[in-house]
Amino acid sequence: MLRTTVGCVGVEERDEEQEDEGEEDLRDGGVPFFVNRGGLPVDEETWEQMWRHVARIHPNGEAIGKRIRGASDLPKIPTLSVPTYQPTTSIPQRLEAIQKYIRDLQYNHTGTQFFEIKKSRPLTALMDIAKEMIRESLPIKCLEAVILGIYLSNSMPGVERFPLSFKTQFSGNHFCHIVLGMHSGGRFGALGISRREDLMFKPLEFRTLADLVQEFEGAYRGYWHTLRKVKIGQYVSHDPHSVEQIDWKHSIIDVDKLTKEELRRELERHTRDMRLKIGKAAPPSPTKDRKSSMGSPLRNPGSPMRRNSRIERRPSGEKKVLDPKPPPDMNGYQIRV
């Protein structure tokens, strides 16, 4: 049974404000936890704050902190190697390898999140944090696992990723959790980390998003939790240098206010929205070959930049007479730097 000492009852409005500002709900199993905002290595103030918090939340109180901090023979923790694949490795096998890597980092029970994740940051900044997580090999929480899962699956263009978060209620307290939803080959699954084995990884075997959500709901029921709300984001770009922000909550569904059929319809609608976004994605910058075939909008006969063009530097007798054409439409063109 999940035990709590401090819940979030009566602070629902503050929770929503936090999430609107891009901050993860700062509670771990109903107990407030700290976020290391000073980077690594951890500064002295944050370090001592972490151990004081451990003494408050651990059943053995200060004794556990003194025993660990006073030990001189603690084993050195190895730096984990990121998964590598053969070209023939299937998508399900690759996702299982990523999940194993995330699980091997272990769940962070200290009550202090080591990496600060601001949801409002652009994707490229979050990918830099993922690299730092790999470099440090420290235990992580659920939001950190989502960022790490995005980074490790960027090289799989056939796999679409999206944030999937849950809000549950147990014994009058609310709890928040997030995983990385996956969609590939017409099947849904998830990557993530949790203290509970059945609240993180889900293989690519669910036919619909509703089936995946119902799987998590069933797992929550096993811990006497009632699923209250589901938040689903849009597909995340595979470009690690993208300056786009992750859409964390494109759809917010109040589960307890819907029948099972209504919930299924809402999730099917969101699935269609995600597919439409792929169809409307902005085209990549044209390659060199495409640029030569497409022509450049700067080569407009009315543009002053044509004064230095090669054709106008030719002797007048070699000029090729061109049929007058209307200037191209510049409205839909963007120059990428």
pLDDT in tens, 77-111: 888 999 999 989 999 999 999 999 999 999 999 99
Instruction: List phi, psi (to 5°) of 323.
Output: -70, 135
Lowest-confidence range among 29-33, 51-55, 82-86, 302-306? 302-306
- 232 CB neighbour count, 10 Å cutoff: 24
pLDDT band at 280 (very low <50, low <70, confident <90, very high): low
Q: Is 308 a residue whose pLDDT tops 60?
A: no
Lowest-confidence range among 82-91, 185-194, 320-329? 320-329
- Which pLDDT does position 113 carry in this prediction? 95
- Which pLDDT does position 310 carry in this prediction? 41
pTM metric for this prediction: 0.75
Residue pair 34/177 in contact (Cβ under 8 Å)? The answer is no
Two tokens at 58?
């651990």
Q: Name the residue with higher pLDDT: 76 or 121.
A: 121
d(CA 240, CA 123): 7
The average confidence (pLDDT) of the chain is 81
Cis peptide before 92 (omega within 30 of 0): no
Q: Is 317 a residue whose pLDDT tops 50?
A: no
Residue pair 322/299 in contact (Cβ under 8 Å)? The answer is no
- Which pLDDT does position 293 carry in this prediction? 45
pLDDT, mean of residues 141-160: 96
Give the active site residue among 53, 174, 177, 183: 177
Which residues have C-beta within 8 Å of that of residue 252, sequence separation ≥ 6? 229, 230, 231
Q: Name the residue with higher pLDDT: 273 or 277.
A: 273
Lowest-confidence range among 73-87, 125-139, 193-207? 73-87
Q: Is 249 a residue whose pLDDT tops 70?
A: yes
Nearest alpha carbon to residue 27 among 52, 9, 1: 9
- Which pLDDT does position 25 carry in this prediction? 42
Give the active site residue among 142, 153, 165, 174: 142
- Which pLDDT does position 326 carry in this prediction? 54
pLDDT, mean of residues 267-279: 85
- Which pLDDT does position 208 carry in this prediction? 96
Q: Name the residue with higher pLDDT: 172 or 285.
A: 172
Which residues have C-beta within 8 Å of that of residue 122, sequence separation ≥ 6? 242, 243, 244, 245
Query: What percent helix, strand, coil does the chain show, rounded to 5?
Result: 40, 15, 45
Instruction: List phi, psi (to 5°) of 61.
Output: 60, -135
pLDDT band at 291 (very low <50, low <70, confident <90, very high): very low
Give the active site residue among 194, 225, 237, 270: 194
- 149 CB neighbour count, 10 Å cutoff: 27
**Pseudo-torsion of CA 270, 275, 277, 278, nearest 10°?**
150
What percent of the chain is predicted at pLDDT more than 90? Answer: 61
- 269 CB neighbour count, 10 Å cutoff: 12
Q: Is 322 a residue whose pLDDT tops 60?
A: no
- Which pLDDT does position 177 carry in this prediction? 95
Residue pair 105/137 in contact (Cβ under 8 Å)? The answer is yes
Residue pair 230/168 in contact (Cβ under 8 Å)? The answer is no
Lowest-confidence range among 12-16, 257-261, 289-293? 12-16
Q: Name the residue with higher pLDDT: 227 or 298.
A: 227
Q: Is 194 a catalytic residue?
A: yes
Q: Is 8 a catalytic residue?
A: no
- Which pLDDT does position 279 carry in this prediction? 52
| Cα–Cα distances in angstroms (integers) from residue 240 to residues 125, 230, 236, in the given order | 9, 27, 10
